[in-house]
Amino acid sequence: MTEIKHQPIQNFLDELASKSATPGGGSAAALMGAQGAALVSMVCNLTIGKPKFAEVEVEMQEVLGKAEALRSELTNLIQADIAVFNQLMSKYGLPKDTDEEKVQRSAAIQDVLKAATDVPMQCVRACAKVIQLSKIAAEKGNPHAVSDAGAAVMAAYGALKSSALNVYINAGSIKDTIYIEAQLAELEQVTQGIEQVVDSIYQTVKARL
Amino acid sequence: MTEIKHQPIQNFLDELASKSATPGGGSAAALMGAQGAALVSMVCNLTIGKPKFAEVEVEMQEVLGKAEALRSELTNLIQADIAVFNQLMSKYGLPKDTDEEKVQRSAAIQDVLKAATDVPMQCVRACAKVIQLSKIAAEKGNPHAVSDAGAAVMAAYGALKSSALNVYINAGSIKDTIYIEAQLAELEQVTQGIEQVVDSIYQTVKARL
């Protein structure tokens, strides 16, 4: 099958709306995050090379480099979310007739549940970074593109909160309490006060429109 | 040029990140909104036809119909935002050598500025409706898909807030005060308390995970 990122937008939306389990919210979140990163890059690209913004040139170059790396990572997560979900479904389909099979099946499911948690956690981390970068873009980027910095922060925030749900889902099924407590603690740390951060960036954008 | 919705996701993201003014935050917002609508449809499609959810069957059919209409509308707004921006740029490029030319140019710009405000306003209205539908999906949809309802509300919210910025941008340049005050009043009405509505839907989703 053609990788999602090479498929037309209309196909992706049709598949998203359909009753097939993938792509679902996890892939949509990754695409939202990638859009957020792309919009940060757009602001940088509309700022870099203009004598008027020479003072922030080096910083914008740095932000652009980071935003492009995050965009690439998030774009790949669209597909990664589908892959790990399908893997999980295949493990749930393993035979469970004998005690030995039951043990093997359960262990296989537990392994993939961790992978299925790592994917949205990666999305959460990347989106938290996009939010930080959108702050710089909103404060120092070309004011003609500041609304794009505003769309960037809202896209990354929506993606982060959507991905968090996919971590919470798995939390209840993962038996390795050390692993899952670490994930939930990190999630708590990233999401605490994020609403205020996002709102403050949004207000910066509005003030510079 | 091929319409955006028929282009691969990767192309759209590359164009979004580039220094070309379109596609920008307005198109990204419309795509986010379309993703939100698609995710509401997904929850409906995973609920409809299952005997377990027979009680909400009729309501979910209704929600699906509305979500699909909004998805189509929002998907078309991806392109509409680009079209109206390009139109605006062409009007700014009109000659302004004589007084008559100046008057004609200014009138042409004012006309298109309204169209350039109508597009994000349409996106705001559609996304507000997607948020309402995501509430029903979150409360009554198949609990196995409830995280998708959560991603739906976050996508629509991000889209709504991003589109609002594109209304605010134009507000300062539009001379027809009756028109723009009406738009801003509607925007105020739609956005007031939206954070609480979105958070409440998100908490509903978390509780049903």
Q: How confident is the model at residue A182 (pLDDT cuts 50, 70, 90)?
A: very high
Instruction: Classify B182 as helix, strand or coil.
Output: helix
Copy the structure tokens of residue A129: 């970074």
Average pLDDT, chain B: 97
pTM over 0.80, yes/no: yes
Distance from CA of A80 to the nearest CA of B (A): 15
Contact criterion met (CB < 8 Å) for A24 and B151: yes
Distance separating alpha carbons of residues B57 and B157, to the nearest angstrom: 26
Q: What is the CA radius of gyration of chain B?
A: 20
Query: Pick from B74, B39, B32: which is nearest to B162 by CA?
Result: B32
Burial label, B54 (beta-carbon count in 10 A; 0-12, 13-18, 19+): exposed
Distance from CA of B102 to the nearest CA of A (A): 23
C-beta contacts of A176-182 below 8 A and 24+ residues apart: A176/A110, A176/A114, A179/A114, A180/A117
Kindly list the residues from chain A whose CB atom is less than 8 angstroms away from the CB atom of residue B88. none
pLDDT at B5 > cutoff 80: yes
pLDDT at B198 > cutoff 90: yes
Distance from CA of A207 to the nearest CA of B (A): 10
Taking residues B174-185, report their average pLDDT.
Answer: 97
Taking residues B166-175, report their average pLDDT.
Answer: 94
Kindly list the residues from chain A whose CB atom is less than 8 angstroms away from the CB atom of residue B5. 8-10, 13
Q: Please give the helix or strand (H or E) that residue A166 lies within, else none.
A: helix A146-171
Select the residue from B71, B124, B165 to test the A interface by mutation, using most A Cβ atoms within 10 A: B165
Each residue of B118-149: pLDDT tens digit? 999 999 999 999 999 999 999 999 999 999 99
Taking residues A127-155, report their average pLDDT.
Answer: 98
Please report the ipTM that was assigned to this predicted complex: 0.97
Select the residue from B7, B14, B27, B39 to test the A interface by mutation, using most A Cβ atoms within 10 A: B39
Predicted local confidence at residue A187, as pLDDT:
97
Kindly list the residues from chain A whose CB atom is less than 8 angstroms away from the CB atom of residue B21. 46
Contact criterion met (CB < 8 Å) for A155 and B7: no
Taking residues B101-111, report their average pLDDT.
Answer: 96
